[in-house]
Chain A
Amino acid sequence: MPWRLLLRNVIGHPLRSSLTVGAVTVAVFLICILQAVTSGLSRSLDATAANRLLVQSAVSLFVNLPLGYQQKLSAVEGVDEICKWQWFGGRYEQDKGGFFAQFAIDPEPFLPSYPEMHVVEGSYDEFIRTRTGCVIGRQLADKYDWKVGDRIPILGTIFTRTDGAPWEFIVNAIYESSSPAFEELQMFFHFAYIDESLEQRGATGPRGSGIFMLKIAEGVDPVSVQSTVDELFENGPQRVQTTTEAEFNRQFISMLGDVPQLLRLIGGAVLFAIFFAVLNTMMLTGRERTRDLGVMKAMGFGDGVTAWLLIGESLLLCTLGAGLAVLLAVLLEEPLADGTAAFIPGFAIDRQTLSLGVGIALFVGVVSGILPGVRAARMTTTRALQEVV
């Protein structure tokens, strides 16, 4: 096998080779990113806890449930803890582009309900004691360089203060999460603080809570609790919909359409495009080499060698492309994960994703080489030599 010739064929056509390698790089990189997003989404769904139910209005997530529901819910058998989750939707003053989620919650039942949340700095007890306190995730703290004790001004958009000033929260604790479903780009503060302000007309905004989270006691079937809760409010005043956390997240994602399916389709299209691009290049290359391969056959090189020269070249170009794509993916993983953390909590380019990308590139390489390779092998020497280039 004349390896040097194979290498020279690649190096000897720098423009064609670099364009092909570039195309494969872009395609494999894209496929890796798409795969990372899809698996990130499904990872965060898989990581959701089965023992947590979310109660929301049957009408829409944007309709609040009356606070009076809390009492009725806590009376349901099998409910261990109950905690409000109210989307705050505020804006950090200095924040130019990025957005992060803020929720008003009940500090006391919150911590035992979310064992994946680990306080690593400050004190959660301090948070419970501080009316205007907040708990923030590690990534959020890093993003804005916030420390325990900092005061963070948040301008309300749904809940606005009557004096027009931003809300101010003191960082009491910073947490890290051990589950991809529980993001580190969130801020939690006292529901009571917001509600009190509304009560005293220090602020305006909707009353009630968007969600009641129910933590189910051990050994209790969440499905039975689910139906009990739904039946409880069957006749109003507002009907509710109770879902598992996984189901809730799935619905939330599907508000954007069937994202994973769409991503898979795009990935497929990219795959096809790159396959035809490489195949086309290799077919042209094979045709252009006809005379060369004829001369080699005349010298006594076998049909297999001529075929392998083309398959090897195709494989080499695709391998180079895949290698560059992997390098790019590894280098860009962190900035990409940071940039998308708020939307895709589980985004990670893992080894499996990279192998998928490399596998696709190798497959494209072999198949694109086989067609011109078989043609080269089948061609008779005399006919190849007759070819006028």
Chain B
Amino acid sequence: MPAAIRLRSVTKSYSKGGQTLRVLDELDLDMDAATFYALMGPSGSGKTTLLNLVGGLDQADEGVVQVGDEDLAAMQSSELAEWRSEHVGFVFQGFNLLPVLSARENVELPLLLAPLSRRQRRQQAERALELVGLADRMNHKPRELSGGQEQRVAIARAIATDPQVILADEPTGDLDRDTADAVLEMLRRLNRELHKTILMVTHDPQAATYADKTIHLDKGKLGRIEENATPTGGS
């Protein structure tokens, strides 16, 4: 079941050196299920903060954060952890993978939290790696992979538990154009074929064109939401 995301007057502040910084200010946002969103905005505008709230990594000071049927604001941190393990997959900018584990073991890691047998875990991890086209690199360690391959393993790990939502914070930030395009293409396929709801933070306008819609964020306030009429990407 694809999940929609709903934010209502969400406020998040950080106190730094006695000063309170209001990063998100009474933010309202509705995101449709099974849709690929790009989130853009200047540095420090609160993109990562927003992503963390939606992913249940952090909690809002005020307001409602609803993902699927769950109201994250009502949850304890241990409940949030359990919820994350089933419902969200994360892809971060760099250093996603544990260096001591092979690609397959990295993908298997989140599956340890699911009620699966050893064999099932292994099969599911291998399937995810096949999906991102890295079946032949399963036993490689992260340092034996290129940056693009590493991000594809990270994507495989994010989808291994079959979550409804995938959150990606600048997943192509460290990659060159061609490699970035391959990773973005992969995300778009996950959305098209597996109907994942995807929220991807990016600074790159070209990367944003892979998404269905682009959300603009500025100084904690929501800007316009662009519809990418014919998402093409690449060229």
| A binding-site residues for B, Cβ under 8 Å | 2, 4-5, 8-9, 11-13, 291-292, 295-302, 380-382, 385, 389
Contacts and interface: CB of A to CB of B under 8 A. Distances in A.
B116 interface: no
Contacts of B98: 5, 292, 295-296
B9 interface: no
Interface in B70-125: 78, 81-86, 90, 92, 95-96, 98-101, 105, 109-110, 112-113
Given A4-B105, A382-B52, A301 B100 contact: no
Nearest to B84: A300
A300 B101 contact: no
Contacts of B225: none
B55 interface: yes
Nearest to B92: A385
Given A295-B92, A300-B82, A300-B110, A12 B99 contact: yes
A299 B85 contact: yes
Interface of B: 52, 55, 57-58, 78, 81-86, 90, 92, 95-96, 98-101, 105, 109-110, 112-113
Contact of A382 (B58, B78, B84, B95): B58
B101 A301 contact: no
30 contacts: A2-B112, A4-B105, A5-B98, A5-B105, A8-B101, A9-B100, A12-B99, A12-B100, A13-B100, A292-B99, A295-B90, A295-B92, A295-B95, A296-B98, A298-B84, A299-B84, A299-B90, A299-B109, A299-B110, A300-B82, A300-B83, A300-B84, A300-B86, A300-B110, A301-B85, A302-B78, A302-B81, A380-B58, A382-B58, A385-B92
Tell me the dominant secondary structure on chain B's binding face.
helix
A63 to B, nearest CB: 70
Contact of B95 (A300, A301, A302, A389): A389
Nearest to A389: B95
B100 A381 contact: no
Contacts of A389: 95
Nearest to A289: B98
Contacts of B83: 300
Contacts of A9: 100
Nearest to B99: A12
Contacts, number: 60
A299 B167 CA distance: 12
Contact of A296 (B52, B57, B58, B109): B109
Contacts of B52: 382
Nearest to B167: A298
B194 to A, nearest CB: 19
Nearest to A385: B92
Given A2-B112, A295-B98, A300 B92 contact: no
A291 B95 contact: yes
Nearest to A7: B100
Contacts of A385: 57, 92
B115 to A, nearest CB: 13
B105 to A, nearest CB: 7
Nearest to A388: B95
Contacts of B58: 380-382
Contacts of B57: 298, 381-382, 385
B116 to A, nearest CB: 14
Contacts of B81: 297, 300-302
Contacts of A382: 52, 57-58
A9 B78 CA distance: 25
Nearest to A6: B100
Nearest to A387: B95
Contacts of A8: 100-101, 105
Shortest Cβ-Cβ A-B pairs, 9 listed: A300-B85, A12-B100, A8-B100, A300-B84, A299-B110, A300-B81, A381-B57, A298-B90, A382-B58
B129 to A, nearest CB: 17
A300 B100 contact: no
B215 to A, nearest CB: 20
Which of A12, A13, A382 has the most chain B CB atoms inside 10 A of its CB?
A: A382
Given A292-B98, A299-B109, 8 more contacts: A5-B109, A8-B100, A295-B90, A300-B85, A301-B113, A302-B81, A381-B58, A385-B57
Nearest to A381: B57
Contact of B100 (A5, A298, A302, A380): A5
Nearest to A384: B57
Contacts of A380: 58
Nearest to B53: A382
Contacts of A302: 78, 81
Nearest to B105: A4
A18 B139 CA distance: 24
Nearest to A297: B81
B101 A5 contact: yes
Q: Max chain B CB contacts within 10 Å: which of A302, A380, A381? A: A381
A213 B156 CA distance: 86
A18 to B, nearest CB: 15
A109 B121 CA distance: 81
Q: Which of the listed residues A13, A292, A295, A299 has the most CB atoms from chain B within 10 Å of its own CB?
A: A299
Contacts of B101: 4-5, 8
A11 to B, nearest CB: 7
